[in-house]
Structure 1
Amino acid sequence: MTGLRQDVFVQSEIYSKLGLRHTGYAPLRQGEGSDACEASERCGNTRDGHVDFPNIRARTIQGEVQDETAFYAMEQIAGHAGLFSTADELGVMCRLLLNGGTLGGYTLCSRATVDLFRYTFNRDQSYALGWQLLTPATAKLYGDIAPHVCPPGEAVGHTGWTGKCVIVDFRRGVYFLLLTNKKHSPVIALPEYWNLFEGDLTSAAKYGNIADLFYRGTLRA
């Protein structure tokens, strides 16, 4: 549609216009040092040696997308994985949404477009366009409190496999960011299943519990 590759388009038309210097794809190719990025998996994609295929990464993944499909088949540029950022710059994007698609003189989209992210057209009422809604069905991810204090369409959320969670609450004009690297930990080896990591068992890995703490504080303020 634009004639530009996805990473080039979002960098030139969105991130640079918002003044975001540390948001984008494949940061090592953009001159960022690996130390500027979290480590996302300690033994590459091998699941501590349980998985193998030609050209698999066995080194610590840091500054590269962890997702196998995005890395091996999509040059690290994908709609579902591979975007790097910081808490501050993600906050800018959240405020852009809260402000109806406009921030600091820059307009990404109309308020009507933002509204498409907030309301579902699906049989599964927990999904909207690109986001999940905070319902009892998603309480494990976003907590038990949110469904009771956020009417449908008043808050959206998204998670990432490596340990990320974001909630944008339009009703209260606030947002919640949880940025962990829970998969950068030893694998708990189960029969024929190697996607459970020790980090998955930590308190910070239970997104819903942390989101409940956020809402308790927000409602008390």
Structure 2
Amino acid sequence: MLPALSRRRALLAAGGAAAGALVPGPARASGTFPVLRPGSAGEAGLGRDALAALDDVITARTGPGPDAAFPGAVLLVARGGVVAKHTAYGHAQTHRGEVPLRHPRPMRPETLVDVASCTKVLATTASVMALVDDGAVSLDAPVARWIPDVPEAVTVRRLLTHTAGLWEWQPTYLWAVTPEDAVSHVTGLPLRYGVGDGRHYSDLGFMLLGEVVRRASGRSLSAYARRRVHRRLGMVNTAFRPRRGGVAATSLGNRTERRMIGTEEPYPVLGDRGVEDFEGWREHTLVGEVNDGNSAYAFHGVAGHAGLFTTARDIAVFAQTLANGGGYGHRRVFAGPTVDEFTSDAFHSGQGLGFWTHRFDGIAGLGEGGVGHSGFTGVEFAVDRGDGLVVVLLTNRLHPRLPAASVDPAWRAVREGVGEALARTG
């Protein structure tokens, strides 16, 4: 017999009419949830001129100019289900290796992007949410229930909140050639911090969460996320190891990680292996291959911390689902109480269960809401669940070569522009 809350979550996940009354968020008619649709700035309650001015914000940072931060970008802004802006800028690929392309590939609204650490929420956290709803995972259960070598004090909740004491990063591929080897390597490392001793953002923690999803569901993270979440939401362009074309390029090989290993900055490398002990370094421009080395090498492209490719619209669909309290169109994917719990602060302000919170904090006109995440490749997204405001910025900042510029100034300018658009409706 499932506990009462688990039974309620199971009912909600099934989409029962009685359960629907428990869902927070926008009102819906005929048992359906709001879905994204194209519309005008006015329909979205946004100022037209202020929204249009976002083009200048992005184009000023696109291309080869002195202020350029990335070759290309896609920006999507929606509110109340109305997509008021979905625009592509610049190029998805300008070089092959060190050689400029004669005809650079343009960035398009439907271009696939390696979303790096946004995988943590769009695939791994989403899968854990579904497993919690289905009664297969308890947030306060020890991870050792599924991965025996993990210390008993480490719970699923601790991994989701980066408070499990694990190392932030290690190059597992220096020792591991399979996902199983990589998980064993991670569990064999000593904890860097005490469990619960502060928040320390950890890729390794989400590698373990991906393995929890696999063992709890009986399917790979890729297969479970696709079947249980992405297909139900119509996120048809979201996948690990994408098979279709139209993918934005990222870096030239893995030079960042080679430097990290060689210098042991910002993290010391545990063990007696170094750059020269690995023979698999990629030297070509990465297109359709995950940029992250741990995901690419040890996890073969499917990992809990990185590896997902998707589009701005698919991210916006997921964000709208959070705003809706767990449903989209005629489908309920997550229980309302589950969405509430995962998108609220847990242990530390700004950190929910997997999600980052307060992503609009400090931006005039946007309040303190905003739930989402970022990705190393130059990806940012946030949704204000109360207002239904969705902002997605995808860039290919690692292309064509390093060092790469930060996307932070562009992301802040976008949020400030959206705040101004909210203040100048009409």
Contact preservation (8 Å) 1:144, 1:212: no
- Please state how far the C-alpha of 1:47 moved relative to its aligned partner: 4.5
Q: Which runs of 4+ in 1 moved over 4 A?
A: 47-52
- Please state how far the C-alpha of 1:150 moved relative to its aligned partner: 2.6
Q: CA RMSD in A?
A: 2.3
- Is the partner of 2:284 in helix, strand or coil? coil
- 1:132 counterpart residue number: 356
- Please state how far the C-alpha of 1:38 moved relative to its aligned partner: 0.5
| 1:76/1:49 CA distance change after superposition, 3 Å | closer
Q: Residue by residue, what CA displacement relative to the aligned partner does 1:37-96 show, whole Å, maximum 9, x if unpaired?
A: 11011x111249967542111111111111111111111112221111111222211111
Q: 1:63 aligned to 2:320?
A: no
Counterpart selection for 2:422 from 198, 213, 218: 218
Point out the structure with max Rg over C-alpha.
Answer: 2
CA distance in 1, matches of 2:409, 2:397: 6
User: What does residue range 1-221 of structure 1 map to in structure 2 within 5 Å?
Assistant: 1-27=216-242, 31-33=243-245, 36-41=246-251, 43-47=252-256, 53-122=278-347, 124-134=348-358, 144-145=362-363, 149-151=366-368, 154-188=369-403, 197=404, 199-200=405-406, 206-221=410-425
- Please state how far the C-alpha of 1:187 moved relative to its aligned partner: 2.1
Contact preservation (8 Å) 2:257, 2:293: no
- 2:110 counterpart residue number: none
TM-score for the superposition, normalised by structure 2:
0.42
CA distance in 2, matches of 1:174, 1:80: 26
Long gaps (5+) in structure 2: 1-215, 263-274
Long gaps (5+) in structure 1: 136-141, 189-196
TM-score for the superposition, normalised by structure 1:
0.79
CA distance in 2, matches of 1:212, 1:178: 13
Q: How many residues align?
A: 194
Contact preservation (8 Å) 2:358, 2:371: yes
| 1:15/1:49 CA distance change after superposition, 3 Å | closer
- 1:192 counterpart residue number: none
- 1:139 counterpart residue number: none
Contact preservation (8 Å) 1:7, 1:25: yes
Counting aligned pairs with the same residue, the percent is 29
| 1:149/1:68 CA distance change after superposition, 3 Å | same
- Please state how far the C-alpha of 1:6 moved relative to its aligned partner: 0.7
CA distance in 2, matches of 1:205, 1:64: 27
Report 1 or 2 for greater relative contact order, CA contacts < 8 Å, sequence distance ≥ 6.
2
Contact preservation (8 Å) 2:323, 2:386: no
| 1:108/1:23 CA distance change after superposition, 3 Å | same
- Is the partner of 1:7 in helix, strand or coil? helix
Q: Residue by residue, what CA displacement relative to the aligned partner does 1:2-54 show, whole Å, maximum 9, x if unpaired?
A: 11111011112222222222111110xxx313xx111011x111249967542
